[in-house]
Structure 1
Amino acid sequence: MLHNFDPPATEEEIHASALQYVRKISGAAKPSAANAEAFEAAVAAITEATSTLLNSLVTKAPPRDREIEAAKAKARAAERYGTE
Structure 2
Amino acid sequence: MCRNIKTLFNFEPPATEDEIQAAALQFVRKLSGFNTPSKANEAAFNRAVIEVTGVARNLLGSMVTVAQPRDREVEIVRARARSVKRFGTKKD
TM-score in same-fold range (> 0.5) = yes
Distance in 1 (alpha carbons) for counterparts of 2:28 and 2:87:
26
The two structures have a TM-score, normalised by structure 2, of: 0.87
Cα deviation, 1:11-59, whole Å, max 9, x if unaligned, reads 0000000001111111111001110001001101110000000000100
1:70 maps to 76
Number of residues paired by the alignment? 84
Distance in 2 (alpha carbons) for counterparts of 1:12 and 1:28:
20
Distance in 1 (alpha carbons) for counterparts of 2:20 and 2:86:
27
Moved over 3 A (4+): none
Seq. identity, %: 55
Amino acid at match of 1:32: S
1:70 counterpart SS class? helix
CA RMSD of aligned residues (A): 0.8
Gaps of 5+ in 2: 1-6
Distance in 1 (alpha carbons) for counterparts of 2:87 and 2:26:
22
User: Would you say 1:82 and 2:91 are equivalent positions?
Assistant: no
